[in-house]
């Protein structure tokens, strides 16, 4: 697991909203990664819980506010620095203490949605700036920008919002109580120059859908038996992940990833078979036969790329790039 991926889960992890499987992945990673341990500790200190009561059942207030640093801490850090830097820093302090609503052009928003959790990440485009997400009424968040303190330990300058979806129309609240939301509810993001709305239902469906696998996380094997059946095996390179093959069209498949947190990668593989009657004919799953043309290919979709394997290669029982091994 990449550190970035693990860190994106931290906001939910701290709130105890991550699944047991995710927790295992996170804790495994933390054991061997000091940077992420420190990062998590910093983040824990910086969290400000939103404890507003829910006004009505329709309201979606699952979101938790993360501040990169509390004001108190800013001054503590500054206090230490002033001893060293004297007046120069003292003057700067006034400036660094200010914050303002960010311009949308200075913010890069990305949405990570998997395993039921949707996380919005707001990263500053400007150097030496950091962002906060401030909660308002009716699922509104305002993106606030301020100056990063110089000399301070490098903190994560990003702001995060995340929520956990139980199903397509239920979200987990802060107090652990599930809340329903309606299809037309939106999350409103306010910038200085404009506002952006995101459908909460859309976030939910993204978060609940299992992600398409990255090609680098999948090892493909090919085996051909005496009866002309070619079996493609897809095995996860990641622990705790299993794969499934999804038919997305004629001669077209997609590899999807599931987090089940158990089993060895070799046990969590998925298979796809092609039944050759002869070199130019395959038997489809409904029993009918289909003639192959010269340029027929099997298309395999990954998140990052699409791979095509000619049926002639499948018939030969070899994968492209496999020649040396015979
Ligand atoms: Zn790490």
Q: What is the dihedral of CA 201, 206, 208, 210, to 10 degrees?
A: 160
Q: For residue 6, how far is its CA from the centre of ligand 1 (angstroms)?
A: 7
Q: For residue 158, how far is its CA from the centre of ligand 1 (angstroms)?
A: 17
Average pLDDT of every residue of the chain = 76
Chain segment 4-28, per-residue pLDDT in tens: 888 888 878 887 777 888 888 899 9
Chain segment 149-163, per-residue pLDDT in tens: 665 555 678 888 877
Q: For residue 10, how far is its CA from the centre of ligand 1 (angstroms)?
A: 11
What pTM was computed for the model? 0.47
Q: For residue 178, how far is its CA from the centre of ligand 1 (angstroms)?
A: 31
Which single residue is written with the structure tokens 């995340």?
Answer: 162
Q: What is the pLDDT of residue 185?
A: 83
Closest alpha carbon to 121 in 4, 258, 3: 4
Q: For residue 41, how far is its CA from the centre of ligand 1 (angstroms)?
A: 13
Return residues with CB closer than 5 A to ligand 1 (ion).
3, 33, 36
* Residue with the larger pLDDT of the pair 149 and 130: 130
Chain segment 51-62, per-residue pLDDT in tens: 333 333 333 333
Q: What is the dihedral of CA 123, 128, 134, 139, to 10 degrees?
A: -20
Chain segment 249-282, per-residue pLDDT in tens: 889 999 998 766 566 666 788 999 999 999 899 9
């Amino acid at each position: 697991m990449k550190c970035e991926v693990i860190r994106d889960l931290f906001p939910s992890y701290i709130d105890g909203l991550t699944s047991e499987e995710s927790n295992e992945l996170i804790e495994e990673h933390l054991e061997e990664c000091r940077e992420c341990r420190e990062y998590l500790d910093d983040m824990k200190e910086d969290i400000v819980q939103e404890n507003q009561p829910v006004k009505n059942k329709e309201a979606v207030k699952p979101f938790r506010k993360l501040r990169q640093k509390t004001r108190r801490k800013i001054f503590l850090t500054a206090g230490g620095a002033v001893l060293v830097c004297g007046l120069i820093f003292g003057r700067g302090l006034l400036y660094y203490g200010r914050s303002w609503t960010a311009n949308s052009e200075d913010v890069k928003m990305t949405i990570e949605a998997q395993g039921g959790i949707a996380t919005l990440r707001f990263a500053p485009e400007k150097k030496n700036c950091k962002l906060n997400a401030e909660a308002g009424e009716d699922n509104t968040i305002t993106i606030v920008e301020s100056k990063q303190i110089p000399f301070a330990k490098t903190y994560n300058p990003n702001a995060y919002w995340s929520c956990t979806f139980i199903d397509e129309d239920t979200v987990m609240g802060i107090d652990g109580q599930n809340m329903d939301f309606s299809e037309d509810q939106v999350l409103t993001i306010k910038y200085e120059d404009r506002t952006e709305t995101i459908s909460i239902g859309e976030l939910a469906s993204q978060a609940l859908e299992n992600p398409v696998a990255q090609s680098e996380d999948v090892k493909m094997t090919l085996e051909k038996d005496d009866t002309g059946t070619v079996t493609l095996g897809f095995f996860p390179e990641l622990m705790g992940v299993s794969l499934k093959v999804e038919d997305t069209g004629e001669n077209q498949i997609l590899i999807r990833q599931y987090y089940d947190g158990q089993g060895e990668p070799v046990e969590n593989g998925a298979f796809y078979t092609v039944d050759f009657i002869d070199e130019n004919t395959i038997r489809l799953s409904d029993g009918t036969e289909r003639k192959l043309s010269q340029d027929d290919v099997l298309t395999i979709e990954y998140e990052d790329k699409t791979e095509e394997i000619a049926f002639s290669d499948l018939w030969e029982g070899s994968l492209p790039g496999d020649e040396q091994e015979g």
